[in-house]
Chain A
Amino acid sequence: MTDERHSSVAGQPATSDTAGALHSVPLPPGWDEAVRLDEDPATIPDPASVEVPAELRAEVERRMAMYPEHHSAVLPALAAAQQVHGWCSPEAIEQVAAVMQVTPAYLSSVATFYDMLRTQPLGSHYLYVCTGVACHLRNAKAVYESIEAQAGEQGLEDWEVREFECLGACDMAPMASIDGRFIGPIEEGDAGELVTALNEGRQPFPGRGLSDPGFRLPWADGGAAPDRPGPPEQPDVHPAGGTWKDAEVLDMPPAEGPSPHPRPLLKPLDPGTSEVPEPDEEP
């Protein structure tokens, strides 16, 4: 999966400095990292030589015991390691590999596939702003941009701020997910308060989260959802000489002679034949 949407506000830039000189378009992370051909490929780590935090080890082993094949625990194990380390760092990957007895490369290949597993140190908390199709229809792009701007202005340490695909809460669009807590509907004007609350460690907009006690959509008791601002007006311009599509609507003079089209088919074909029947005589 290409990962072009990572915001660089909350953490390191998504590409290394050397990439910028060669490419004007930023590359997804990892593309510019050369393979070390002089090194042997990493093998399954020796469990005795890798130090794993006791809690992480217990969680990974608990997960492995839940499945008929312990490989199934890869996703929960990586998520647990991300909880501990803030991202799927090489260290985190090695620890999981040591407990699960798989190669680090295998875990990296899995981690790079999934949007919620961070392969860059972008922050140990996440703020996903949904800009999916349904939220797009409710001004989500502008909401995201104002949140991003506020995060840049106020500074937001240790938070990964990014656009996210449909989060499954289109009824409260536009919405965002703060470490799994869905809030919405949010407006552009909410961005400042949202970022301030996150910075101060407060829960933003208590009562407006989907899982907050007594949560109801603002229009649940009648009324209507707030309308989004209208789309930008396109300038009203009339080019001299008309445009290419005007050529198609020219009135052509009627052609002389019989119609080039075949006679209209008046009766459906008999099954199994391809013969065009004679049209019925007009009454």
Chain B
Amino acid sequence: MTETRVLLANIDEPDLNTIAVYERLGGYRAMRKALLEMSAEDVLHELGESGLRGRGGAGFSMGKKASFIPKGAMDKYLCCNADESEPGTFKDRLLMQKNPHLLVEGCIIGSIAAGANKGFIFIRGEYSVQADILEDAVAEAYEKGYLGERILDSGHTFDLVVHRGQGAYICGEETGLLDALEGKRGNPRLKPPFPANQGLYQGPTLINNVETLCNAPIIIDHGADWYRKFGEGNSTGTKIVSVSGNVQRPGNFEVELGVTVRELIYGLAGGPPEGRELKCFFPGGSSAPVLTKEHLDLPYTFEAMAQAGSMLGSGAIIVVDESEPLVPLALRLAEFYRHESCGKCVPCREGTNWTVKVLERVDEGEGTPMDLEILEQVQGNIIGNCLCVLGDSMAMPVASMLTHFREEFEQHMEEARLARDLEELPAMGAGELGAVPEAGPV
């Protein structure tokens, strides 16, 4: 099993982050082509024809999204979502750290398609090294005249600013990102209006993930027909998959969409440690419902993952092996979403909180069979009832764990309860009863 490297083709090249090396390897060729040989409609058409789907999580067609931007003379904006906070995802970090000019070029091409003349890369504050590298790349591009007024005398003006977040998962949600970029708390907005109509500063805004925009120069350079040869069905192109968790070789692997999950987990990432079997895996970041061993031979595509009841999401596979108890894992997951919930919608704010409380009870031996019913009910009441998908992102994986591994939850609860009882026996004065020996269960 080998990778199909398109985005990562030159990733090991030394000093790829400098404009000289990037241009020597064919960089900014696609930008010239898009600016000087193609009209904005051609660029938009090419991106649409390629079948490229958003790599950030939702998997929406990039060309379609860009085509929703209204035409006209108003100020339009491009936002690159580099707030990669989904647990298990680290593909954008690699792209921005090693190949920042690919993203800058992608932003320029995206801005041509959207007719935007102001762009922002919203990068999470924790990626400070990567943000420094990006800022240097943007400065280099300005120096060369690839950014700014009338790029290459083409009539297209585009300014690009690297904007650092300050640590909030919810800013990865597109409308939360817009509020954070406007200098507010990163609360998601009610949709509609969608950002394509009213986004940043109430202007039409195209928001795309880093990996999506990085695909744009490749599509323009080689053509949509070439790009469509990769992948399977409606999942075209290659995808950088971040594999982490209980595997022998965690890392980023670029593959054609459509390879089997088994090839990814066992072939590329080496599978779980020696002597252990896989218990379950998150196929698309921690927000994706877990899948089990029987799903290993499914092709890794948007459609197959959706059919199996999960999602491809951001393309991050987190592997859990059989020795890992699931209740603490579900608890850790729920704690994350409780911490990151912005608190705007009640089902999410209260639902994440109560999920943590119930799971804590189960883990500490305070649980009763009714707790699992409540847990299930709470998840059902979150899904689909909030402004954004943060609540769903907790409810779906927790509910899926409960569906697939209910017996383990029951057993864990029972064992934890007995363990706690054993600890409490001496404290309860059992030894003073005389007939009962001091240690050991009755």
Q: Are A132 and B336 in contact (CB under 8 A)?
A: yes
In the complex, A138→B247 CA distance in Å? 10
List residues of chain B with CB within 8 A of the CB of A235: 415, 418-419, 422
In the complex, A240→B369 CA distance in Å? 19
Q: Are A1 and B129 in contact (CB under 8 A)?
A: no
Q: Are A114 and B249 in contact (CB under 8 A)?
A: no
Q: Are A113 and B185 in contact (CB under 8 A)?
A: yes
Asked whether any CB of chain B lies closer than 8 Å to the CB of A95, the reply is no
CB distance from A39 to the nearest CB of B (A): 24
Asked whether any CB of chain B lies closer than 8 Å to the CB of A5, the reply is yes
Asked whether any CB of chain B lies closer than 8 Å to the CB of A133, the reply is yes
CB distance from B367 to the nearest CB of A (A): 12
Q: Are A75 and B163 in contact (CB under 8 A)?
A: yes
Asked whether any CB of chain B lies closer than 8 Å to the CB of A122, the reply is no
In the complex, A172→B244 CA distance in Å? 9
Asked whether any CB of chain A lies closer than 8 Å to the CB of B198, the reply is no
Partner of B244, one of A72, A165, A171, A237: A171
Q: Mark A210-230, 1 if CB is under 8 A from B, else 0.
A: 110000010110001101001
List residues of chain A with CB within 8 A of the CB of B183: 69, 71-75, 110
Closest chain B residue to A100 by CB distance? B183
Chain B 230-268 residues near chain A, CB threshold 8 A: 242, 244-252
* Stretch with Cβ within 8 A of B (4 or more), from A19-27, A173-181, A198-206, A260-268: A173-181
Closest chain A residue to B318 by CB distance? A134
In the complex, A211→B412 CA distance in Å? 41
Partner of B336, one of A78, A79, A133, A181: A133
Q: Are B184 and A133 in contact (CB under 8 A)?
A: no
Q: Are B90 and A171 in contact (CB under 8 A)?
A: yes
In the complex, A132→B164 CA distance in Å? 21
List residues of chain B with CB within 8 A of the CB of A166: 85-89, 286, 336
CB distance from A1 to the nearest CB of B (A): 7
Q: Mark A157-190, 1 if CB is under 8 A from B, else 0.
A: 0000000111111111100010111100000000
In the complex, A217→B127 CA distance in Å? 19
CB distance from A230 to the nearest CB of B (A): 6
Asked whether any CB of chain B lies closer than 8 Å to the CB of A105, the reply is no
List residues of chain B with CB within 8 A of the CB of A137: 244-246, 318-320, 324, 329
In the complex, A219→B441 CA distance in Å? 47
CB distance from B336 to the nearest CB of A (A): 6
Q: Name which of B84, B127, B341, B369 has the most chain A CB atoms within 10 A of its CB.
A: B127
Q: Are B93 and A245 in contact (CB under 8 A)?
A: no
List residues of chain B with CB within 8 A of the CB of A116: 125-126, 166-167
Asked whether any CB of chain B lies closer than 8 Å to the CB of A243, the reply is yes
List residues of chain A with CB within 8 A of the CB of B185: 109-110, 113
List residues of chain A with CB within 8 A of the CB of B419: 234-235, 237
Q: Are B343 and A1 in contact (CB under 8 A)?
A: yes
Q: Name which of A4, A181, A245 has the most chain B CB atoms within 10 A of its CB.
A: A245
Partner of B270, one of A76, A224, A237: A224
Asked whether any CB of chain A lies closer than 8 Å to the CB of B273, the reply is yes
Q: Are B87 and A171 in contact (CB under 8 A)?
A: no
Asked whether any CB of chain A lies closer than 8 Å to the CB of B228, the reply is no
List residues of chain A with CB within 8 A of the CB of B90: 168-171
CB distance from B97 to the nearest CB of A (A): 7
In the complex, A177→B164 CA distance in Å? 16
Chain A 70-120 residues near chain B, CB threshold 8 A: 71-76, 78-79, 109-110, 113-117
Closest chain B residue to A244 by CB distance? B369
In the complex, A79→B123 CA distance in Å? 14
Asked whether any CB of chain B lies closer than 8 Å to the CB of A125, the reply is no
CB distance from B39 to the nearest CB of A (A): 26
Asked whether any CB of chain A lies closer than 8 Å to the CB of B124, the reply is yes
Known A-B contacts A166-B336, A225-B250, A235-B422; the reply to A68 vs B242 at CB < 8 A is no
Asked whether any CB of chain A lies closer than 8 Å to the CB of B128, the reply is yes
CB distance from A24 to the nearest CB of B (A): 16
Asked whether any CB of chain A lies closer than 8 Å to the CB of B168, the reply is yes
In the complex, A90→B299 CA distance in Å? 55
Closest chain A residue to B184 by CB distance? A110
CB distance from B41 to the nearest CB of A (A): 26
List residues of chain B with CB within 8 A of the CB of A168: 84-85, 89-90, 92-93, 124, 126-127
List residues of chain B with CB within 8 A of the CB of A257: none
In the complex, A138→B87 CA distance in Å? 14
Closest chain B residue to A107 by CB distance? B183
Asked whether any CB of chain A lies closer than 8 Å to the CB of B118, the reply is yes
Q: Are A69 and B182 in contact (CB under 8 A)?
A: yes
Q: Are A219 and B248 in contact (CB under 8 A)?
A: yes
Asked whether any CB of chain A lies closer than 8 Å to the CB of B75, the reply is yes
Chain B 298-336 residues near chain A, CB threshold 8 A: 316, 318-320, 323-325, 328-329, 332-333, 336
Partner of B129, one of A2, A109, A180, A224: A180
In the complex, A78→B168 CA distance in Å? 15
Asked whether any CB of chain B lies closer than 8 Å to the CB of A144, the reply is no
Asked whether any CB of chain A lies closer than 8 Å to the CB of B201, the reply is yes
Chain B 165-196 residues near chain A, CB threshold 8 A: 165-169, 180-186
CB distance from A51 to the nearest CB of B (A): 24
7 A-B contact pairs sorted by A residue (CB < 8 Å): A1-B340, A71-B184, A165-B340, A219-B270, A234-B412, A235-B419, A239-B441
12 additional A-B residue pairs with CB within 8 Å, beyond A168-B84, A231-B323: A69-B201, A116-B126, A116-B166, A132-B332, A134-B87, A168-B93, A171-B252, A211-B129, A225-B248, A235-B415, A235-B422, A245-B369
